[in-house]
Amino acid sequence: MRLRWPPRRTMTSGRIEWNRQSWPATSMGAKEFERTQGRRSAWLGDVAEVWRRWCAEEEPGLAVTTSGTTGTPKRIQHSRKATACSVAQTAEALGLDEGCHAVLALPTTFVAGQAMVVRALVGRWRLTLVEPSAAPSWAGSCDFVAMTPHQTLGWLEHGSGYATTLLLGGGPVSPALLRALLASSRVSTVWEGFGMSETLTHIALRRLDKVQDLAAPFVPLPNTCVTVDAQGCARIDAPDREVHGLSTTDLVDVCDDGSFVWLGRRDDVINSGGVLVHPMEVERAFHTFCPSWVQDFVVYGRPDDTLGFEVVLRVQSAEPPEDLDHAFQTFRNQLKALVGSAKTPRAVEWGDVPRSDRGKVMRRALS
């Protein structure tokens, strides 16, 4: 596969910026940054390590630990060749050229953060570092930033800064979040990626110009193929990234043109009296009428003597309405009209929604 990116070599290099200081995105710059900043905090040391290793042309290109969402976290290594292909595909797909001003808001303990550093080094970008948090902030505007949906919500509510292109990943994007983004005037273009540590970030993208686009399929990047196994889960082949026949627990519906719709995780499917309920389907339906007093919510399966598991909707709010029972019954009636009686939660409860430090819902903590 021939890519037009990275740009042809010039005498200039990119720049890495932090705390009103700037370093050339070179091996010498990495050493100086590590010497002067790397010991100030763990996250700066992590950035320095990724930067130094890439400039030193060490193998593997990236070494990351999976999030552990679907099992025990494990260590994964990716070669420099595979890493270079991944960062080039992202830059080409999103039109990110030499001199791009990007913001690193993701921790480099995970693959997406490491990939952002490598993109800046290879593409000769200007990369501004901000401390990873639930509400990232930066001054002024940037060309490109990648964040999780959880971070993006915090950025909108409590952070500062503007972006031309935002790439979302690491968790489902809710209609409420997308509405807030599109109405904020703080971002011009929103993309959502589908991928994982094993595929070295996203292998498919979709552009989100309106809330209805959340029902649109993901489009695989060049020379990437997604098929379905006997259990209905995605099987990924991305030979340029050295990914061959990767089995996942992501339930998908593959379209004739090779694009696919993500249905949720196989591990999360609820067998309620023989009816298979995808929590994401019910959550998407709830999003369409979710009232403003609801801060967070999740659909999960709770053991039941009769059904095996009953479908439950948990709602989190600091100030619920006075007649909570009436509100919950209204939720059930509206969901019944959207997803049918068999998939409608038998119970609606009020309580906290457990999430990981990356913002992912921890359904297993509830079941």
Q: 219 and 308, same structural domain?
A: no
The residue written with tokens 């999780």 in the block is: 148
pLDDT in the model for residue 59: 92
Residue 227 has pLDDT above 80, yes or no: yes
Average pLDDT over every residue of 15-32 = 96
The dihedral region occupied by 170, where left means phi > 0, alpha psi between -120 and 50, and beta the remainder, is left
C-alpha distances out from residue 32 to 49, 52, 119, 330, Å: 12, 10, 20, 60
Residue 46 has pLDDT above 70, yes or no: yes
> What's the number of domains the chain is made of?
2
Two tokens, residue 213: 């686009």
**Band of pLDDT at residue 66, cut at 50, 70 and 90:** confident
pLDDT in the model for residue 322: 85
**DSSP per position, 279-335:** HHHHHHHHHTT--TT--EEEEEEEEETTTEEEEEEEEE-SS--S-HHHHHHHHHHHH
> Residue 352 phi/psi, 5° resolution?
-75, 150
Q: 87 and 187, same structural domain?
A: yes
Average pLDDT over every residue of 172-199 = 92
Question: What gap in Å lies between CA 67 and CA 189, rounded to an integer?
Answer: 27
pTM for the whole thing? 0.85
Average pLDDT over every residue of 183-209 = 96
pLDDT in the model for residue 6: 65
Centroid of chain to Cα 185: 21
Residue 109 lies in a domain: yes
Q: What are the pLDDT digits (tens) for 197-210? A: 999 999 999 999 98
SS3 23: strand
Residue 355 lies in a domain: yes
Q: Name the least confident of 10-19, 183-192, 342-351.
A: 10-19
Which residue, 205, 223, 241, sits at the end of a domain? 223
Q: 274 and 128, same structural domain?
A: no
Residue 264 lies in a domain: no
Residue 22 has pLDDT above 90, yes or no: yes
Question: What gap in Å lies between CA 86 and CA 354, rounded to an integer?
Answer: 32
In this structure, what CATH number is given to the domain that contains residue 340? 3.30.300.30
Q: What are the pLDDT digits (tens) for 83-118? A: 999 999 999 999 999 999 999 999 999 899 999 999
Residue 246 lies in a domain: no
**Residue 103's closest CA among 184, 25, 161?**
161
Residue 2 has pLDDT above 80, yes or no: no
The residue written with tokens 């690491």 in the block is: 170
Percent above pLDDT 90 for the chain? 75
Residue 145 has pLDDT above 70, yes or no: yes
Q: What is the DSSP letter of 177?
A: H
Mean pLDDT, the chain, rounded, equals 92
Longest CA span, the chain: 71
Q: 312 and 164, same structural domain?
A: no
| Structural domain for 199, as ranges | 15-223
Q: 76 and 177, same structural domain?
A: yes
Q: State the number of CA atoms in the 13 A half-sphere of 328 facing the CB.
A: 19
Residue 3 has pLDDT above 60, yes or no: no
Question: What gap in Å lies between CA 291 and CA 135, rounded to an integer?
Answer: 23
Q: What are the pLDDT digits (tens) for 112-142? A: 999 999 999 999 999 999 999 999 999 999 9
Two tokens, residue 320: 């619920």
Q: 275 and 212, same structural domain?
A: no
Q: 288 and 140, same structural domain?
A: no
Residue scoring higher pLDDT (103 or 174): 103
Residues pairing with 65 in the sheet: 75
Q: 198 and 70, same structural domain?
A: yes
Percent above pLDDT 70 for the chain? 95
Residue 247 lies in a domain: no
What proportions of the chain, in percent to the nearest 5, are helix, strand and coil? 30, 30, 35
Residue 242 lies in a domain: no
Q: What are the pLDDT digits (tens) for 296-335? A: 899 999 999 999 999 999 999 888 888 889 999 999 999 9
The residue written with tokens 């100086």 in the block is: 32
pLDDT in the model for residue 68: 60
